Amino acid sequence: MAINKEFESAKNWYINNYKEFSAGLNGLSKSFFTPLRENAIKDLGKLGFPTTKNEEWRYTNISPLLKNNFIPAAASREISLHFEDIKNKLFTGFEHHLLVFINGIFSEELSSVSNIPSGVIVDSFGKLLRNNPEVIEKYIDNFNNVQTAFDALNTAYTTDGLVVIVPDGKVIDKPVQALYLNGDDENNVLISPRNLVIVGKNSHASVVTVYEPGAEQKYFTNITTNIFVDENGNLDLYKIQNESEDSYHIEKVDAVQNKQSVFSHYNILFGGGLVRNDINTAMNDEFIETNYYGLYLGNNKQHIDNHTFVDHAMPNCVSNELYKGILDDKAHGVFNGKIMVRKDAQKTNAYQSNKTVLLSKEATIDTKPQLEIFADDVKCSHGATIGHLDDEAYFYIRSRGIPAELAKSILIRAFANDVVEKIKIDGLKEQINHLIFEHLHRIEI
């Protein structure tokens, strides 16, 4: 009962704060998005925050998150940062268009988007909402999909985020990099980025989202990302999450794919105190390919929860999923991968694999790979393994005169490489490999 009360009061906190927040929206308040916000607040009231009694949140207790009363990051706050301050947070090994968001709010001065093909939109959600709302209003159906309390919270409080719209038959030459610098020096802030990525027919885009800490205080990043990939479209979406270990990080990705499209999601997780990802893809037509790759490295008391869902509603589609985890200290990992094959989805091929290495006595993992299959002519499989580093492989490397720490590091990097090698941007791949190496060095395996 005590828990329920706590959940109830957190819910009321966000509902009651909404009035003040919406009063400060100024120019934004007349946009098409405002009714969605108001509905979302009602939804939040109805849904409430999920407790561990909710099967989807069985292993993730969010009460530490709800104990904090986060204040929505203010749009008007002056931020005096220079490019030099953020340079070391960027992934620079490849050419890219850059958008920078401070506490989820677009910073024009720090961003650099140039020479994009005509018709392609790479911009800020907030800016578009103010100046050209019709551009995003077209995709209103994608916003109108509130399913969880956190989704509702984001819809109510979001003011900005990344928008990439690639019209039919266009290709963005360079990947788009969106850097989110999160956290405030004074307040515990709620950061609510709303990302929208639309890839038209026969188009291609590659997007890298990076979440980094920017200040000392605790903060809560609550992201909703809406994705639509039209016929023959191709989207690679990378997420590199390196938030502070005091922070809370929740993201929901909702993707919709049309005929023959390919969507690949790469989820590389280093940081965050309590992390939860929900990645959902709905297949609208035939011959669709969906790939999920994930790597999570946890230490100290990190809690990392990944929920993925592939909804095979139509025949002849393929999905691949590979999630690997390395957990040290008291880190707790959760994986829940669900593959649904509906009645009409004949000739479906669906593969899923989750492998976790536990490096310490107190690290734990709860994994739940799920198959729900209603069609008979399908090939589906899933696998999950949990273990420690292979003693024989370790012995082999040690017997060649390699010191203990390096030997372990080699084995772990080899384990992680199955995921890292899927990254298609060479410069990014290298830097991520480097980050893994640094991470292993830091945690003193």
Partner 1 sequence: MSEDMKVVEDLTQSEYKWGFVTDIDADEAPKGLNEDIIRFISAKKNEPEWMTEWRLKAYRHWLKMVEPSWHNVKYPKVNFQDIKYYSAPKRKPQLESLDEVDPELLKTFEKLGIPLEEQKRLAGVAVDAVFDSVSVATTFKETLAEKGIIFCSISEAIRNHPDLVKKYLGSVVPYTDNFYAALNSAVFSDGSFVYIPNGVRCPMELSTYFRINAMDTGQFERTLIIAEDNSYVSYLEGCTAPMRDENQLHAAVVELVALDNAEIKYSTVQNWYPGDKNGKGGIYNFVTKRGACRGKSSKISWTQVETGSAITWKYPSCILQGDNSVGEFYSVAVTNNFQQADTGTKMVHIGKNTRSTIVSKGISAGRSNNSYRGLVKVLKGADGARNFSQCDSMLMGDKCGAHTFPYIEVDNDSAMVEHEATTSKVGEDQIFYLNQRGISTEDAVNLIVNGFCKEVFNELPMEFAVEAQKLLAISLEGSVG
Which residues here bind partner 1, judged by CB under 8 A? 55, 59, 343, 346, 356, 358-388
List residues bridging with 321 in a β-sheet.
Answer: 292, 352
Q: Closest approach of Cβ 66 to partner 1, in Å?
A: 24
- The residue (of 387 and 401) whose beta carbon lies closer to partner 1 is 387
- The residue (of 200 and 369) whose beta carbon lies closer to partner 1 is 369
Residue 70 DSSP label: P
- The residue (of 74 and 371) whose beta carbon lies closer to partner 1 is 371
User: Using only C-alpha atoms, what is the Rg of the chain?
Assistant: 21
Structure-block tokens of residue 300: 């100290």
- The residue (of 75 and 371) whose beta carbon lies closer to partner 1 is 371
Inter-residue contact 197 to 230 (CB < 8 Å): no
- The residue (of 27 and 387) whose beta carbon lies closer to partner 1 is 387
Q: Closest approach of Cβ 258 to partner 1, in Å?
A: 24
Q: 14-17 contacts: CB < 8 A, separation 24 or more? A: 14/44, 14/153, 14/156, 14/157, 15/41, 15/44, 15/45, 17/71, 17/72
Residue 167 DSSP label: -
Q: Closest approach of Cβ 279 to partner 1, in Å?
A: 19
- The residue (of 256 and 304) whose beta carbon lies closer to partner 1 is 304
Report the C-alpha gap between 297 and 275 in whole angstroms: 11
Q: Closest approach of Cβ 315 to partner 1, in Å?
A: 11
Residue 303 DSSP label: E
> From residue 394, how far is each of 62, 345, 409, 418 by CA, in Å?
38, 44, 10, 18
Q: Closest approach of Cβ 341 to partner 1, in Å?
A: 8
Q: Closest approach of Cβ 378 to partner 1, in Å?
A: 6
